[in-house]
Structure 1
Amino acid sequence: MPNDQATADFSTKPTLTGERVILRPFVEDDLDTFRAAVADPEVARLTGSPVDDAPDEERMRSWYGSRNAQTDRLDLAVVDRASGACVGEVVLNDWDPDNRNCNFRTLLTAAGRDRGLGTEAVRLVVGYGFESLDLHRISLEVFAFNPRARRVYEKVGFVVEGVLRQVLRDGDDWVDATVMAILAPEWAAHRGHPERRDS
């Protein structure tokens, strides 16, 4: 049985450049973006984070200050090339080396939404996961009240696998989460552009 674990090197934190975004390791100035993000009720809602559990300054500095040293996950800042500003993050985490699987999550501030930055950022990090880390499967969960994010994931090639029913309390309502994933052979066939596969 081949040792597939040796091919994934999460200790390397790349800089990935697209037309609209740059994904890069975190720098201290990025903290301003995430201070604003954790204070934004809409960001908290879309990520399913309890509003009253926002990290304090010390926890945030510790968390983002340690991301570049992690050897079992990849956290990268999303930078808007037009403004040079950090507008969010993309993350490959929950690595399962035996099965070459990772979870994916992202956070974009209001300044990073509705301009195609998220779609390009997802394509860049997913492509890196398959092409440089030799992952076989990347999965995620998206809440039912976030159709914008689901559409981005579908555009990149994530496929719906099922629904986790009433997984999140949202005020007086219960919200479902859709489980989605993309596999290495699917990525190889369309490279994040499933609509072009037949062309």
Structure 2
Amino acid sequence: MPGAVYLRGQSVTLRTIEEEDIDFLHEMINNPDLWQGFGAPGPRSKREVENRFEEQNSGVALLICCDEAALGRVRLVDVDKNWGNAELTCYVAPESQRQGLATEACQLVIDYGFDHLPINKIIARIIDSNQSSRSLADKLGFVHEGTLRNHVFHEGQYLDLHCYGILEEDWRLNE
């Protein structure tokens, strides 16, 4: 049985991630068109995905679905209630990209975060080669706050890591 619908948009629904989604998560984390964009450190076995399931899908972690088909995952991770911030992560399967689904899923989760969590800022860390995610951050209203030069070793080279952030007050102004 699929997870419960938690948030609903016009084109996507975001539902809880359940153990039956492990095959999808395993496929996505090992998809070369995805892991190259977020700099995954290497292939992950199904057993590793199963073992890290709770850790990777706790808190605000939701499956992006369209017509009940799983298309990606969106999360607010490292929610720091003392400092009032969290980090946004998102991916959509390559065959479902460029349809606005990641944008809508991120908007839903950002709204949720600012409405229901004790946070005032959401950040996104994006490797230099991931132009799609950098464009998404810009589209969502995130501000480029800095660059950590040669911060990530990926595919045999060091890449810059771009740091983006959005404050709740700026998000509310753009609504």
TM-score (norm 2): 0.88
Give CA deviations for 1:27-86 in whole Å, capped at 9, x if unaligned.
33322221211221222211111224x1x2233224335666x4xx311111123xx211
CA distance 1:164–1:25, shift in 2 (3 Å) = same
Does residue 182 (structure 1) correspond to residue 173 (structure 2)? The answer is no
Q: Match for residue 137 of structure 1?
A: 121
Give CA deviations for 1:137-166 in whole Å, capped at 9, x if unaligned.
000111111111111111111110000101
Please state whether the residue corresponding to 1:120 is helix, strand or coil.
helix
Does residue 78 (structure 1) correspond to residue 64 (structure 2)? The answer is yes
Q: Match for residue 57 of structure 1?
A: 46
Would the aligned equivalents of 1:17 and 1:23 in 2 still touch at CA under 8 Å? yes
Within-5 A mapping of 1:105-124: 105-124=89-108
Give CA deviations for 1:159-194 in whole Å, capped at 9, x if unaligned.
100001011223343211110000010111112xxx
In structure 1, what is the Cα distance between the partners aligned to 2:19 and 2:133? Answer: 27
Within-5 A mapping of 1:86-105: 86-105=70-89
Would the aligned equivalents of 2:89 and 2:124 in 1 still touch at CA under 8 Å? yes
Q: Match for residue 7 of structure 1?
A: none
Please state whether the residue corresponding to 1:185 is helix, strand or coil.
helix
TM-score (norm 1): 0.78
Would the aligned equivalents of 1:137 and 1:182 in 2 still touch at CA under 8 Å? yes
In structure 2, what is the Cα distance between the partners aligned to 1:138 and 1:178? Answer: 14
Q: Match for residue 46 of structure 1?
A: 37
Shift of 1:14: 6.9
Count of matched residue positions in the alignment of Structure 1 and Structure 2: 172
Would the aligned equivalents of 1:26 and 1:67 in 2 still touch at CA under 8 Å? no
Q: Match for residue 15 of structure 1?
A: 6
Gaps of 5+ in 1: 1-12, 192-199
Shift of 1:22: 0.7
In structure 1, what is the Cα distance between the partners aligned to 2:54 and 2:95? Answer: 23
Would the aligned equivalents of 2:23 and 2:46 in 1 still touch at CA under 8 Å? no
Identity fraction in percent: 27
CA distance 1:45–1:62, shift in 2 (3 Å) = same
Spell out structure 1 runs of 4+ moving beyond 4 A.
Answer: 65-68
Gaps of 5+ in 2: none
Within-5 A mapping of 1:141-180: 141-180=125-164
Shift of 1:91: 1.0
Q: Which has the larger radius of gyration?
A: 1
Q: Match for residue 25 of structure 1?
A: 16
Specify which structure has the higher proportion of strand: 2
